[in-house]
Chains A and B, each alone.
Chain A
Amino acid sequence: MSIAVLGQVYDEVRRLSIAGSSVASGDFRLQKLIAPLEKSGEKAPVFKKVAEAVTRLVESTEKSSAEALLDLSTLVNAILYTQGQTGLEGELAPVTQVGTGILPKRTPSSILKTLNIALTQAGSGRLEVIQESLRREPFPDPRLLESAIDALDGTYHEVSDLVEEKILPQYGMAIIPLLREKYDLKGKAADARRLSVLHRVDPEGTKPLIHEALEDGSKEVKIEAISKLREPTDLPFLIEQSKAKAAAVRDAAFTALAEIESPEAAEVIVQGLTGKASLNHVRGGLTSRHPHVLETIISEIRKSSNKITTASPADRKSKPHVNECERLCGLIDALAERTDPQTESLLLELFGHRDQITKAESKDTVYRSEPKILQRMNECTDKTRELLIQEHESLDETGLKLAVMAAMQVDNPKRFYDLFHGYIENGKSASTKKRDARNKADLIATTIRNHVEYGHRYWHTDRTSEHQVAARRDAIDPRWLDLAIKHDEMVLLIPLARPGHKKSHDRLAAEMKKMLKAAKRPDYQIGDVLSAVLRSDHPQKVDLVIETIHAMVKWGHAYYFYMISDLIPRLPKSEAPRFEALLAELPDVMADRLIQSIAELKNKSEAS
């Protein structure tokens, strides 16, 4: 069959259909095709039919041309549909596999569509949709990969971060070609993210890309690339970048140098530390653990403190003196979390001279070295902390707080109580004019509470943090709780109330009753008190939670329902029926907020 001529007819039909059939009459291009069609028609009758249809069109009037054109196009299309080319010449090679093979998961289409929209389109609530979906483990599914990669380009950075850190790494090496296809080393934040994911899934294979980005990458991509350099062979480049004009690039380079514990890297940091530039210039390198850097920091601190204390009264108002004071504080900060003997020795030395340094410090800057010295001492060994504890009476409020923190870390609860309970006694019995004594009492109570409840938030708790809070509470001398009861100090009572302590239970119950009586809105501390009720295994805990729910309904205050729904699963499983019964009494809107937590309580595995 002479398909070529048929193809020509199709092209002419298409042209006339685009232009309109009115111009078809007498069309000379079509007319020229009649003869070859008729010739082919001698062998295949279908060509004859086409020739006839072409003739009818060419000879049509303006009125009849439309139908003639349609007849011809329908006929030609029908023939061409039977002539579709299949197959492909050439050597067949196996499909170049990407990764080790991922299978599509058994996830319903509705969820895949919802996720696809959440990953690729704008609109509120997308992050929640994705986070919620993670419980169903829809990743890694090859069908969602493209959308997940597109999400790196999104403007909602929380979604992009989630995809970069949690979702895409699940795909492993399979994503490399797709990421590389879109990766632009001159690009913006999305390309930096692509580079980061590539490095997460294939650190070794991404090395050439990292080096390319370091050479020619945009600022964002370059910073990401620098953050990935940790090999000694990267040193020349990092050293070069440590002199970059852009602070972010320089910072990334110094941070990388700090993590490479080589003499060369340390030397660069040391040069930065001892050079003329400000300490800010080298701040990324201050975390280095290399001995040479540490020695230099210590030596620079000594030099700096000496310079400050020996400055003449006239010089103490000068700008260089202000800069030196700020530099000293920065250098002391660089000793954070160091417990080596050299550091401890220096800190003790500085502690001894703290009054002298404070006196010489410029008043034109907010930076003060004493609190920083005390803070670093609190991070040292018990021996150094001991000095802090012993000196508590001579310290100001900031220092006293650090001394209390140090005392709680030194494992001697009895001594801690003996040394510090006096502040509460004095403060609570002091007259109103003795504000300093009251402030110190409040500070002691708050510091103990912060220590016990560290990491705990009543609106979002987890089992681990609850256990840790209870463990820290139990490590505190029980006399503190009696003291709290004696002076009705709720700040202390809330973290320290413990199971079986009747007086504290009575006080908590009284406090709850008082709060629940409020006519319009809940006391902002109600979450803390209720949390203490549960943690202390209060005998009326279930009643108090239920009363609180009723009060919430009365107040119409939705926010605290989040707190309540977080607390309910911590109650005994046996109480689930009471809450199920309660749901029926609540307005639908309120009940909907508690359904999940009551279901969680009901489905608790442990028999509590």
Chain B
Amino acid sequence: MDPLAERYLRPEKWPGTACPGCGLRLLVREILESLDGLGLGLDDLVWGTAIGCTGRQTFAAWRGDAFAGTHGRVYALATGLRLALPPEKRILLTVGDGDAFTIGLPHLLAAARRNVDLTVVVGDNLGYQSTGGQFGVTTPPGSRTDSSPYGTWEPSWADEGLDVLGIVREAGAAFLARHTIYDRAGVVESVKAALCTRGFSLVHVYYPCHVHFGAQALGSDDLGLIARWMRQQYGATGVLYDARGRRAEFTERLRRHVAAVQGGGSGHGG
């Protein structure tokens, strides 16, 4: 077992039950490098997850405190948890593209608007893969999947110049980055920056699902082929938006509000 996994992960949860060759393991490895780079220990971070490949396969892998929410609702759950935890305790959420950008989007945007101190890593495998491969809102246009046997026709957020992270930015996020899993140094640096953000941060990482997406949309489950395709498809990545420190964090505002009310003021947190 590699030393970082040994230090940070429960042995019975690593390498876990994700499909052989799944890119998710590399994503977890990159996150661990970020934690190690920041010198974070098991008590410094609470790790939350959701449903789908990214959520299910990462639940409780963390040897520290861990939780999983229902599909799309973990942003609200984590907002409540943030209220209760001290500010120095980091909250990391590893979620999938369906969880973050479809079923959970209103809750994710609410967390961004409030600028809740959460770090969301969206592991995007381009659709609903744990249910066998159906298209999602980041699936490339025209893709054949099990629920689009003739190719997707409905507009997605990977089509016609649309970008779901634009919505998240406008909602009030403090830090946004995007990478493919193959940009190892980039992912590590962005996750580190996100974890050091006092506010809502999100790192969007594309990772390959060769078993479903590769086989259905690219016509091959060859790992090399999907890697080449993904590098080419998502070349221009990096930090997309950095507004760290521009807006007060949710619980900071709250503390000011409570202090003002208790001091007899109007409670306008500013």
Tell whether A pairs with B.
no
